[in-house]
Amino acid sequence: MPSPLPETTRNFLAALPADQRHALAHLREVIIAAAPDAEEYVGYRIPAFRQDGALVSFGATRHHCALYVQSPAVMQAHAEALAGLDTSKGTVRFAADAPLPDELVTRLVKARLAENAARKAATDGARRSRVAAR
């Protein structure tokens, strides 16, 4: 069963052509399945998710849809799986009629979850060290 759409995501998707709306609604469901505890919000006027920091977001332009992975490190670590796709430092662009494979989206989201968790653990450990040193 699809997750309920937050009003702001609903408005974002409603403004898109049907093919992009369908592609991004499906992408959203794959993201939610991969990161069920992530909070959905709108950042920079596009739907986004966060868990221990910014996770991923998605959007559309006139000519393509995009998954914003927001991590050059994750993009580089998955370069082989992303080969042949239209990518940049932290973005994967795709046509609405040629959506990203669910398995690839899941791998990228889970890699971002791990990256955020590691950063949070390091930050929390440093904070505990500073408190203990007082």
For the chain, give the mean pLDDT.
Answer: 91
- pLDDT at 3 > cutoff 90: no
Residue 116 lies in a domain: yes
Place of tokens 């959905």: 40
Task: Report the pLDDT value the prediction gives residue 4, as an integer from 0 to 100.
Answer: 59
CATH number for 129: 3.90.1150.200
Band (1; pLDDT cuts 50, 70, 90): very low
Tell me the one-letter amino acid at 53. Answer: G
Alpha-carbon gap, residue 84 to 8, rounded angstroms: 33
Task: Report the pLDDT value the prediction gives residue 41, as an integer from 0 to 100.
Answer: 94
Domain that holds residue 39: 7-133
Structure token pair of residue 48:
């986004």
| Residue 41 exposed, middle or buried by CB count within 10 Å (0-12, 13-18, 19+) | middle
Residue 36 lies in a domain: yes
Considering the entire predicted model, what is its pTM? 0.88
Place of tokens 């759409």: 5
- pLDDT at 130 > cutoff 90: no
Band (119; pLDDT cuts 50, 70, 90): very high
Secondary structure (3-state) at 74: helix
Tally of domains in the chain: 1
**What are φ and ψ of residue 6, in 5° steps?**
-60, 150
Structure token pair of residue 113:
């979850």
b/e code 14-27 from CB counts within 10 Å (16+ = b): eebeeebbebbbeb
Residue 121 lies in a domain: yes
**H helical segments located in 35-133:** 72-77, 79-82, 102-133
**Contact call for residues 35 and 51 (beta carbons, < 8 A):** yes
Task: Report the pLDDT value the prediction gives residue 7, as an integer from 0 to 100.
Answer: 76
Task: For residue range 14-71, list pLDDT tens digits in order.
Answer: 999 999 999 999 999 999 999 999 999 999 889 999 999 999 999 999 999 999 999 9
Residue 85 lies in a domain: yes
Residue 1 lies in a domain: no
* Percent of the chain topping pLDDT 70: 88
